[in-house]
Amino acid sequence: YALALTDHDNLCGAMRFAQKARREDLRPITGAEVTLTGGAHLTLLAVSATGYSNLSRLISLAHIAAERRDPQLDPRLLAEHAQGVVLLSGCPQGPIPLALAQGRFDEAKALAKQYLDWFGRDSFFLELQQNLVRGDTRRIKELVALGRQLGVPIVATNNAHYHAKDRHRLQDCLVAIRRRKTLEASHRERRANAEFYLKSPEAMAHLFAELPEAIRQ
């Protein structure tokens, strides 16, 4: 099995993660969820030494171009640093999912074509996430339809923020502390349910039983 670590806008845990993963006989994949100018998210995975270098450079550029606590990457820089990097279309806050959610289908299609041009068909995937939150099923259907129209492969990912389901309350507390709010006041910032845990391969296969191709990637 392989497992990717995709922290927001940094690679701080990459080395420790790789060491731990190998001890557990897992293939570690180094990645990051980068914040684009305007606030949308994209998932980037390094698949080679060159890719790791490019991913590191992109994260550095995002921090240089913005305030320390608010890194943002100019998406045009992706084209210059695509070698050795796999691009996923992102979580619900990705530019393509956001465009689809707002009915801007032509924009979503144009973005997908742009990413295809920059990364190629072997290194760009439409990312499907099912955390049993309202809107997940509709978004997945629209992403699948877009992928079939353009010939872009789909891949299911596990939007994990804690390792076990019963740790969701602790994660809620950490979010509240980070935001300097009470639990009640931080409701909008917290995860919608307890489904954002590290699911097993079997659980992921069950969630995406109707889309087995998304699990095989």
Per-residue pLDDT, 79: 97
Give the chain's residues under pLDDT 50: none
43-to-103, 128, 169, 174, 188 alpha-carbon distances in Å: 22, 12, 26, 23, 23
Cα–Cα distance measured from residue 33 to residue 93, given in angstroms and rounded to the nearest whole number: 11
Which two structure tokens, joined as six digits, stand for 118?
């920059």
Per-residue pLDDT, 136: 94
- Write the single-letter amino acid at 139: R
Asked if residue 155 lies in contact with residue 214, where contact means CB atoms within 8 angstroms, the answer is yes
**C-alpha 125: how far from chain center:** 11
Per-residue pLDDT, 66: 78
Among the residues of 65-125, which ranges form H helices? 95-101, 105-119
Query: Taking the alpha carbons of 43, 36, 120, 17 in that order, is the dihedral positive or negative?
Result: negative
**3-state class (DSSP) for residue 18:** helix
**C-alpha 24: how far from chain center:** 23
Which two structure tokens, joined as six digits, stand for 34?
């980068």
Per-residue pLDDT, 68: 66
Which two structure tokens, joined as six digits, stand for 23?
């001890």
Neighbouring C-alpha atoms within 13 Å toward the C-beta of 125: 22
Per-residue pLDDT, 168: 86
